[in-house]
């Protein structure tokens, strides 16, 4: 730590975040000049913002930079006075957030027109929340992680309540805000205790101090309290049982396009933060947090799968399904020995998040497309006879459902495969079989949706479903991705291996002090 | 007598923990949304108190962790204050939107969405 100043490299490394923020502010400005019938310009601007941001990510495929960095013992590039580290792990998640956001924007255009709430703020808030997510995924300093989390969360609270005249949307936003702010407070309390125990806000230093001093000293109980509060906050954000109550309500009440966005991008950001904190900062406390996660994971799989059985609202059903997926993903962190993580487990989580992004967004895109004229389209009955009204969408929805259930030739299988494999190879046979059991169990409610689409009686509204061009693009993109990853997973597994090459390497520690 | 008047870091931490618990109890038991929001502020202020107390503590420490690095806690506290303000603004905005449609601020009547 020499001079207190940022170099040009620092600004280049955070350029994707800066661009997103600038585009968000730009959308707010130009929205004032756009006449109400041409609000699609906002969506184009937002897509441009996402594209520019993606192009500005320090291109990891360009040889030279990484080779240089690795030759010099760097695991990733620290930026902004070590507040963040732009490593492969961060870059992987950055691309993931941007892909999810682009698809969510495509889903939104027609939907917002139908809802008569087509305002520029929608896209601006979306871009701002992605800027927050990027800070979370790249954060090395708990201050930055916390601020990124809050930027994401506060933007999302507003987005959930975006349908101002809809009481369900108001209510969802209120519940999400109260529980979200509550959990952020608990999370921040835990972070403040870690700061007090270790004297640093840097995750790498926190890990070092915990391992070398704190856990051996009389302050160990305080460290455990700090761990409990921090992990409570983290589990709130990824919606694991018993901290899940907000998720079904927020998912059901939010605009459907935002439900899709939340269920993949916001969730992936929560996971990126959880992995950063647990793997980088709190790895010395692994013997303490593993039993906690075992309990939470079993509770999550059991509770969410049973709750999903009785749902009649599709969005709520998929909310419980997404909670159940969190349960499976948590198993990936449990795999391994008492002190050592299993690389396969983390790999499984990253692949899971990748495929989950596409299959879940696809499912929500199909549900969003059901919204037209006076039909809200989020009840299970609204899917009745979809096959005769929109055959391609119905078939793709079936693909998404089977993929969510983890049926082998589809993408969803690979995430579960690596996680269960890592559990078996580290000897957690009981947990692995429980996970497999609940995967099969989940097939029931996914097939309930398929059943409605193909067997359900067509109501009087039997005409073809009007689906806009952008929506078709969103459904096609997610469908192709789900099939492609499922059939040819090799390059994606390579990609995840690449992403983990650095994140698992705790050499970040040597960059600090 | 002098020793009794001395306020140590521990005193601040106990106060912080008490504020935190009061906030958590407030969120879990109060039914008025405005009071729930105030309880959340209480939690965030407990965090601030902790951060500033710890920052003070580490400033007095010799070695690489003491000194200017110990100011991180103060900076963190300023960020948390900003965050609390943003959260309160958005929270009250959502509450007003909700109140316009429903005419209540009681969380028991936030009951449209349930399984």
Q: What is the pLDDT of residues A27-68, one digit of tens each?
A: 999 999 998 888 889 999 999 999 999 988 865 444 434 444
Q: Which parts of A116-238 fold into alpha helices (H)?
A: 120-138, 142-160, 167-198, 203-212, 220-238
d(C-alpha A242, C-alpha A143), whole Å? 26
Range of the domain at B21: 2-103
d(C-alpha A321, C-alpha A305), whole Å? 7
Residue of B41, B43, B26 whose CA lies nearest to B107: B26
- Mapped onto helix, strand or coil, the DSSP state of residue A139 is strand
d(C-alpha A428, C-alpha A337), whole Å? 10
d(C-alpha A383, C-alpha A456), whole Å? 8
Q: A310 to chain B: which residues are within 8 Å by CB?
A: 115
Residue at B89 is within a domain: yes
For residue range A9-34, list pLDDT tens digits in order. 778 888 899 999 999 999 999 999 99
Q: What is the ipTM of this complex?
A: 0.91
Considering just the CA atoms, what is the radius of gyration of chain B in Å? Answer: 19
DSSP β-bridge partners for residue B32: B106
**Are the beta carbons of B113 and A172 separated by less than 8 Å?**
yes
Q: A154 to chain B: which residues are within 8 Å by CB?
A: 86-87, 90
**Are the beta carbons of A199 and B50 separated by less than 8 Å?**
no
Residue pair A267/A193 in contact (Cβ under 8 Å)? The answer is no
For residue range A299-358, list pLDDT tens digits in order. 999 999 999 998 889 999 999 999 999 999 999 999 888 778 888 888 899 999 999 999
For residue range A228-277, list pLDDT tens digits in order. 999 999 999 999 988 998 999 999 999 999 999 999 999 999 999 999 99
Among the partner residues B50, B69, B83, nearest to A192 by beta-carbon distance:
B50
Mean pLDDT confidence for A398-402: 93
A 263-322 → B contacts, CB under 8 A: 307, 310-311, 316
Beta carbons within 8 Å of A300's beta carbon, 6+ residues apart: A240, A241, A244, A323, A324, A326, A327, A330
Residue at B19 is within a domain: yes
How many helices (H) and strands (E) chain B has is answered by 4, 0
Beta carbons within 8 Å of A496's beta carbon, 6+ residues apart: A92, A347, A350, A351, A354
Among the partner residues B24, B73, B101, nearest to A195 by beta-carbon distance:
B73
- Determine contact: B26 vs chain A, CB below 8 A: no
Beta carbons within 8 Å of A424's beta carbon, 6+ residues apart: A432
The model's pTM: 0.92
- Determine contact: B70 vs chain A, CB below 8 A: yes
- Determine contact: A219 vs chain B, CB below 8 A: no
- Determine contact: A178 vs chain B, CB below 8 A: yes
Number of domains composing chain B:
1
Q: Rounded to a whole number, what is the distance in Å from the CA of A170 to chain B's nearest CA?
A: 5
A 52-111 → B contacts, CB under 8 A: none
b/e sequence A90-108, b meaning 16+ C-beta within 10 Å: bbbbbbbbbbbbbbbbbbb
Question: Looking at A142-151, A307-316, A370-379, B32-41, which range is the least confident one?
Answer: A370-379
d(C-alpha A406, C-alpha A400), whole Å? 10
Q: Which helix (H) or strand (E) holds A85?
A: strand A84-86
- Strands (E) across A352-410 are located at none
DSSP β-bridge partners for residue A77: A86
Q: Which helix (H) or strand (E) holds A17?
A: helix A15-30
Residue at B113 is within a domain: no
The dihedral through the CA atoms of A376, A129, A165, A111 has a sign that is negative
- Determine contact: B75 vs chain A, CB below 8 A: yes
Beta carbons within 8 Å of B99's beta carbon, 6+ residues apart: B105
Give how far Cα A178 sits from Cα of A165, B19, B22, Å.
20, 18, 16
Residue at B91 is within a domain: yes
Q: Rounded to a whole number, what is the distance in Å from the CA of B101 to chain A's nearest CA?
A: 6
d(C-alpha B59, C-alpha A422), whole Å? 45
What the block records as the tokens of A84 is: 């963040």
d(C-alpha A259, C-alpha A238), whole Å? 14
DSSP string, B18-36: HHHHHHHHHHHH--BHHHH
- Determine contact: A213 vs chain B, CB below 8 A: no
**Are the beta carbons of B115 and A199 separated by less than 8 Å?**
no
Beta carbons within 8 Å of A478's beta carbon, 6+ residues apart: A103, A358, A359, A361, A362, A365, A396, A400
**Are the beta carbons of A170 and B98 separated by less than 8 Å?**
yes
What the block records as the tokens of A290 is: 């593993």
Residue at B92 is within a domain: yes
CATH number of the domain to which B9 belongs: 1.10.287.3510
Residue at B42 is within a domain: yes
pLDDT score, position B64: 57
**Are the beta carbons of B80 and A175 separated by less than 8 Å?**
no
Q: Rounded to a whole number, what is the distance in Å from the CA of A86 to chain B's nearest CA?
A: 21
- Determine contact: A182 vs chain B, CB below 8 A: yes
Beta carbons within 8 Å of A122's beta carbon, 6+ residues apart: A42, A108, A112, A159, A162
What the block records as the tokens of A486 is: 């499922």
Query: Cα dihedral angle (A435, A176, A252, A132), rounded to 10 degrees?
Result: -80
- Determine contact: B57 vs chain A, CB below 8 A: yes
- Determine contact: A253 vs chain B, CB below 8 A: yes
**Are the beta carbons of B58 and A165 separated by less than 8 Å?**
no
Give how far Cα A436 sits from Cα of A298, A300, A302, A406, Å.
12, 14, 12, 10
**Are the beta carbons of B80 and A188 separated by less than 8 Å?**
yes
For residue range A412-460, list pLDDT tens digits in order. 899 899 999 999 988 889 999 999 999 999 999 999 888 888 887 776 6
Q: Rounded to a whole number, what is the distance in Å from the CA of A218 to chain B's nearest CA?
A: 14
d(C-alpha A312, C-alpha A448), whole Å? 10
**Are the beta carbons of A146 and B95 separated by less than 8 Å?**
no
Residue B3 — very low, low, confident or very high, per pLDDT cuts 50/70/90?
low
- Determine contact: A161 vs chain B, CB below 8 A: yes
- Mapped onto helix, strand or coil, the DSSP state of residue A242 is coil
Residue of A65, A80, A184, A174 whose CA lies nearest to A134: A80
Mean pLDDT confidence for B36-60: 92
């Amino acid at each position: 730590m020499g001079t207190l100043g940022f170099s040009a490299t620092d600004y280049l490394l955070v350029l994707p975040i800066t661009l997103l923020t600038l585009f968000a502010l730009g959308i707010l400005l130009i929205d004032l000049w756009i006449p109400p019938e041409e609000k699609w310009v906002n969506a184009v601007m937002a897509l441009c913002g996402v594209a520019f941001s993606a192009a500005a990510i320090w291109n990891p495929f360009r040889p030279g930079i990484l080779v240089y960095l690795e030759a010099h013992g760097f695991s990733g590039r620290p930026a902004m006075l070590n507040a963040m580290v732009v490593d492969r792990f961060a870059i992987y998640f950055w691309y993931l957030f941007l892909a999810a956001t682009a698809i969510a924007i495509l889903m939104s255009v027609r939907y917002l027109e139908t809802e008569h709430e087509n305002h520029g703020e929608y896209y601006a808030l979306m871009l701002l929340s992605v800027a927050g997510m990027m800070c979370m995924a790249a954060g090395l300093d708990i201050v930055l992680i916390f601020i990124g989390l809050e930027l994401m969360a506060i933007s999302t609270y507003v987005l959930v309540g975006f349908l101002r005249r809809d009481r369900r949307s108001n209510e969802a936003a209120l519940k999400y805000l109260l529980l979200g702010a509550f959990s952020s407070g608990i999370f921040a309390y835990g972070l403040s205790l870690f700061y007090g125990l270790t004297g640093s806000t840097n995750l790498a230093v926190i890990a070092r101090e915990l391992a070398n001093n704190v856990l051996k000293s009389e302050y160990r109980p305080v460290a455990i309290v700090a761990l409990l509060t921090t992990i409570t906050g983290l589990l709130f954000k990824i919606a694991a049982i018993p901290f899940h109550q907000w998720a079904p309500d927020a998912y059901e009440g939010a605009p459907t396009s935002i439900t899709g966005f939340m269920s993949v991008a916001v969730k992936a950001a929560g996971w990126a933060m959880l992995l950063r904190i647990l793997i980088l900062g709190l790895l010395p406390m692994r013997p303490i947090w593993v039993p906690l996660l075992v309990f939470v994971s079993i509770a999550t799989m059991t509770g969410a799968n049973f709750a999903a059985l009785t749902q009649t609202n599709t969005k709520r059903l998929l909310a419980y399904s997404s909670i159940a997926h969190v349960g499976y993903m948590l198993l990936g962190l449990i795999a391994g020995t008492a002190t050592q993580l299993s690389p396969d487990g983390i790999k499984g989580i990253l692949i899971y998040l990748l495929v989950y992004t596409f299959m879940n967004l696809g499912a929500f895109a199909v549900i969003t497309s059901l919204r037209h004229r006076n039909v809200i389209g989020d009840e299970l009955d609204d899917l009745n006879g979809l096959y005769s009204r929109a055959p391609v969408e119905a078939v793709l929805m079936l693909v998404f459902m089977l993929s969510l259930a983890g049926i082998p030739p589809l993408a969803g299988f690979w995430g579960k495969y690596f996680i269960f494999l890592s559990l078996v190879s580290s000897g957690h046979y009981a947990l692995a079989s429980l996970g497999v059991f609940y995967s099969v169990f989940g097939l029931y409610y996914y097939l309930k949706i398929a059943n409605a689409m193909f067997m359900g009686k067509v109501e009087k509204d039997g005409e073809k479903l009007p689906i806009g061009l952008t929506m078709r693009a969103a459904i096609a993109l997610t469908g192709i991705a789900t099939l492609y990853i499922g059939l040819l997973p090799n390059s994606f597994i390579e990609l995840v291996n690449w992403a983990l090459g650095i994140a698992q390497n705790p050499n970040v520690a040597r960059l600090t002090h | 007598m002098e020793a009794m008047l001395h306020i140590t870091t521990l005193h601040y931490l106990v106060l912080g923990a008490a504020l935190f618990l009061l906030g958590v109890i407030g969120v879990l038991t109060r039914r008025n949304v405005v009071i729930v929001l105030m309880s959340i502020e209480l939690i965030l202020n407990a965090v601030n108190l902790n951060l500033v107390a710890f920052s003070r503590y580490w400033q007095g420490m010799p070695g690489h962790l003491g000194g200017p690095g110990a100011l991180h806690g103060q900076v963190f506290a300023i960020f948390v204050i900003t965050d609390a303000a943003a959260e309160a603004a958005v929270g009250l905005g959502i509450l007003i939107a909700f109140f316009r449609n429903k005419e209540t601020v009681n969380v028991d009547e936030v009951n449209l969405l349930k399984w």
